[in-house]
Amino acid sequence: MNLDFSEEQNQLRDQVRRFLEERCPPKAVRQVLEGETDYDAGLYKGLAELGVLGAAIPEEYGGVGLGHLELCVLTEELGRVLAPVPVASSVYLVAEALMQAGSEDQKSEWLPQLAAGDAIGCWAINEGSGRMREEKVSVRFENGKLTGKKSPVADGAIADIAIVAAREGDGISLVMVDLSAGGVTREALDSVDPTRAQTRLVFDGTAATRLGGAGDGWHIASQVLDRAAILIAFEQLGGADRALEMARAYALERMAFGRQIGSFQAIKHMLADMYVSATLARSNCFYGAWALSSSAAELPVAAATARVSATTAFQHCAKNNIQTHGGMGFTWEYDCHLYYRRSNALALALGSLSTWESLLIERMSAGNVEAAA
Amino acid sequence: MDFNDTPQEAAFRKEVRAWLDANAPKHLEPELKRASFGSSGLTSEDPIEAGKKWQKKKAEAGWAVLHWPKEYGGGARTPIERVIWGQEEGVYGVLSGPFTIGHGMCGPTVMAWANEEWKEKLLPPLASGEDIWCQLFSEPASGSDLAGLRTRAVKADDGSGDWIINGQKIWTSGAQNSDWGLLITRTDPDVPKHKGLTMFFLRMDSPGVKVVPIKQANGASGFNEVYFDNVRIPDDQRLGAVGEGWKVSLTTLMNERLSIGSGMSTGFPELFRFCMEADVDGEPAVADSGVRSKLAQFAVKQSGLKYTGMRAISALSKGETPGPENSIGKLVAGATMQELAMFALDLQGESGVVWDEDSPQNGRFQAMLMRSPATRIEGGSDEILRNIIGERVLGLPGDIRVDKDVAFKDIPTSGSRK
Q: Which amino acid is at A325?
A: H
Cβ–Cβ below 8 Å for A252 and B397: yes
In this structure, are residues A156 and A121 in contact, taking their beta carbons and an 8 Å threshold? no
Q: By C-alpha distance, which of A85, A1, A99 is closest to A45? A: A85
Which residues 197-226 of A have a C-beta within 8 angstroms of B?
Answer: none
Q: By C-alpha distance, which of B294, B280, B200 is closest to B244? A: B200
Residue B334 has φ and ψ, to the nearest 5°, of -65, -50
pLDDT of residue A209: 97
The Cα-based distances of A122 to A9, A92, A126, A151, B101 in angstroms read: 28, 10, 12, 12, 57
Question: Cα(B154)–Cα(B165) distance, rounded to whole angstroms?
Answer: 7
Pairing status of strand A259-260 against strand B133-136: unpaired
Buried b (16+ CB within 10 A) or exposed e, B213-235: eeebebebebbbbbbbeebebee
Option in B83, B299, B398 nearest A263 (CB) = B398
**Domains, chain A, ordered by start:** 7-88 (1.10.540.10), 122-215 (2.40.110.10), 218-372 (1.20.140.10)
Tally Cβ neighbours within 10 Å of residue A188.
14
In this structure, the dihedral spanned by the alpha carbons of residues A93, A94, A95 and A98, taken in order and rounded to 10 degrees, is: 120
Cβ–Cβ below 8 Å for B396 and A262: yes
Q: What is the pLDDT of residues B168-207, one digit of tens each?
A: 999 999 999 999 999 999 999 999 999 999 999 999 999 9
The Cα-based distances of A349 to A228, A263, A366 in angstroms read: 10, 37, 25
Cβ–Cβ below 8 Å for A361 and B286: yes
Q: Does domain B133-244 have CATH number 2.60.40.10?
A: no
Cβ–Cβ below 8 Å for A252 and B395: yes
Give B181's strand partners.
Answer: B134, B202
In this structure, are residues B238 and B163 in contact, taking their beta carbons and an 8 Å threshold? yes
Q: What is the pLDDT of residues B235-283, one digit of tens each?
A: 999 999 999 999 999 887 776 555 433 567 789 999 999 999 998 889 9
Structurally, what CATH architecture does the domain formed by B7-127 represent? Orthogonal Bundle (1.10)
Segments in chain B below pLDDT 50: 259-261
Option in B268, B314, B394 nearest A1 (CB) = B314
Residues of B in contact with A354 (CB under 8 A): 289, 293
Structurally, what CATH architecture does the domain formed by B262-380 represent? Up-down Bundle (1.20)
Residues of B in contact with A248 (CB under 8 A): 394-396
Question: Cα(A169)–Cα(A142) distance, rounded to whole angstroms?
Answer: 8
In this structure, the dihedral spanned by the alpha carbons of residues B45, B47, B48 and B54, taken in order and rounded to 10 degrees, is: 80
**Helical spans, DSSP H, in A254-335:** 265-294, 299-325
Q: Maximum Cα–Cα distance for chain A, whole Å?
A: 73
Cβ–Cβ below 8 Å for A360 and B293: no
Q: By C-alpha distance, which of A31, A28, A33, A32 is closest to A337? A: A33
Half-sphere exposure at residue A211, Cβ-oriented, CA atoms within 13 angstroms: 31
Tally Cβ neighbours within 10 Å of residue B417.
6
pLDDT of residue A372: 46
According to DSSP, residue B91 is labeled G
Q: By C-alpha distance, which of A53, A123, A40, A34 is closest to A84? A: A40
Domain B7-127 matches domain B133-244 at the CATH topology level: no
Residues of B in contact with A276 (CB under 8 A): 328, 331-332, 389
Question: Cα(A47)–Cα(A60) distance, rounded to whole angstroms?
Answer: 19
Half-sphere exposure at residue B118, Cβ-oriented, CA atoms within 13 angstroms: 19
Q: By C-alpha distance, which of B113, B69, B58, A296 is closest to A305? A: A296
If you compute the radius of gyration of chain A from its CA atoms, what whole number of angstroms results?
Answer: 20
In this structure, are residues B332 and B304 in contact, taking their beta carbons and an 8 Å threshold? yes
Which residues 40-99 of A have a C-beta within 8 angstroms of B?
Answer: 69
Option in B83, B328, B396 nearest A252 (CB) = B396
pLDDT of residue B312: 84
Pairing status of strand B180-186 against strand B133-136: parallel
In this structure, are residues A174 and A210 in contact, taking their beta carbons and an 8 Å threshold? yes
Residues of B in contact with A236 (CB under 8 A): none
- Helices vs. strands in chain A: H and E counts, helices first: 12, 10
In this structure, are residues B140 and B128 in contact, taking their beta carbons and an 8 Å threshold? no
Distant-in-sequence contacts of A187-192, Cβ < 8 A, 24+ apart: A187/A151, A188/A157, A189/A151, A189/A152, A191/A152, A191/A345, A192/A341, A192/A344, A192/A345
Question: Cα(B311)–Cα(B332) distance, rounded to whole angstroms?
Answer: 17
HEC sequence for A211-223? ECCCCCHHHHHHH
pLDDT by position in tens, chain A (length 373): 788 999 999 999 999 999 999 999 999 999 999 998 999 999 999 999 999 999 999 999 999 999 999 999 999 999 999 999 999 999 999 999 999 999 999 999 999 999 999 999 999 999 988 888 999 999 999 999 999 999 999 999 999 999 999 999 999 999 999 998 888 999 999 999 999 999 999 999 999 999 999 999 999 999 999 999 999 999 999 999 999 999 999 999 999 999 999 999 999 999 999 999 999 999 999 999 999 999 889 999 999 999 999 999 999 999 999 999 999 999 999 999 999 999 999 999 999 999 999 999 999 998 745 544 5
Could you tell me how many residues make up chain A? 373
Q: By C-alpha distance, which of A333, A300, A169 is closest to A223? A: A300
Residue A325 three-state SS: helix
Residues of B in contact with A364 (CB under 8 A): 272, 299
**Residue of chain A minimizing CA distance to B382:** A269
Indicate the domain borders of chain B.
7-127, 133-244, 262-380
